[in-house]
């Protein structure tokens, strides 16, 4: 006899970044049972030249380690005045062991006083099942890079990215719910939920 409540599908989160995990969990809350990445799995080298390629590397490694479906994402920041950079290298733009602040500082320095500050965040999400089947989706958020950092929330480039669909604030000036409603990651994971349904 059951209590009538639905059993949520389980996905193991491949990300080791606690900021990302918190965002993904908030977006999938109540729809997917997001399980933590196995602690004994070493970091996956993300050396693919595409976002979906990096997501696949992580999802495959975690799926094989856990024996369960795994979800992974990778996000890039494409700045038009920089020819699409930092792109797939957004997390290590200022170097292999750089901080979020290092990346933002390099980005603002590279842009200088450029008048074209248009940019977009792009997130690729991939689910890998133990039978080898996959599902991949994307989410994009158009916007612009600000002249200076603004806001205390978020992580990564949030304090220098002003989404086009917003009200002039950066992601770092928004609440989590406001950000998730229009962000690249929010869009990608909602696209994933639509595809899973």
* C-beta separation of 123 from 74 below 8 A: yes
74 belongs to the catalytic site: yes
Whether 179 has a binding-site annotation, put simply, is yes
Asked whether residue 183 is domain-assigned, the answer is yes
pTM greater than 0.85: yes
Q: Report which secondary-structure segment, H or E, holds 71.
A: strand 70-79
Domain assignment of residue 164, given as a range: 10-196
Beta bridge partners of 163: 143
pLDDT digits (tens, 9 = 90+) for 69-103: 999 999 999 999 999 999 999 999 999 889 999 99
Asked whether residue 2 is domain-assigned, the answer is no
- Catalytic annotation, pick one of 74, 113, 167, 194: 74
Whether 75 has a binding-site annotation, put simply, is yes
Whether 124 has a binding-site annotation, put simply, is no
User: What's the CATH number where 144 sits?
Assistant: 3.90.950.10
As a whole number, mean pLDDT of residues 168-173 equals 98
pLDDT digits (tens, 9 = 90+) for 105-156: 999 999 999 999 999 999 999 999 999 999 999 999 999 999 999 999 989 9
pLDDT computed for residue 1 by the predictor: 42
Is it the case that residue 21 has pLDDT exceeding 90? no
Count: domains in the chain = 1
Nearest 5 degrees, angle CA 77-CA 119-CA 95? 35
Asked whether residue 89 is domain-assigned, the answer is yes
| Selection from 129, 131, 138, 132 nearest residue 194 by Cα | 138
């Amino acid at each position: 006899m059951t209590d009538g409540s639905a059993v949520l599908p389980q996905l193991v989160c491949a990300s080791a970044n606690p900021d990302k995990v918190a965002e993904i969990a908030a977006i999938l809350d109540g729809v997917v049972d997001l399980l933590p990445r196995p602690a004994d799995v070493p970091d996956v080298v993300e050396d693919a030249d595409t976002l979906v390629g990096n997501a696949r590397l992580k999802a495959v490694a975690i799926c094989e380690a856990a024996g369960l479906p795994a979800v992974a994402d990778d996000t890039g920041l494409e700045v038009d005045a920089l020819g699409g950079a930092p792109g797939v290298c957004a997390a290590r733009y200022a170097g292999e062991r750089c901080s979020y602040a290092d990346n933002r500082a390099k980005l603002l320095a590279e842009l200088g006083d450029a008048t074209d500050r248009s940019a977009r965040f792009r997130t690729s999400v991939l689910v890998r099942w133990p039978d080898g089947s996959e599902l991949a989706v994307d989410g994009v958020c158009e916007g612009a890079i600000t002249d200076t950092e603004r806001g205390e929330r978020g992580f990564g480039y949030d304090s220098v990215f002003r989404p086009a669909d917003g009200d002039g604030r950066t992601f770092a000036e928004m609440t989590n719910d406001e950000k998730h409603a229009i962000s690249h990651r929010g869009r990608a994971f909602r696209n994933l939920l639509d595809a899973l349904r």
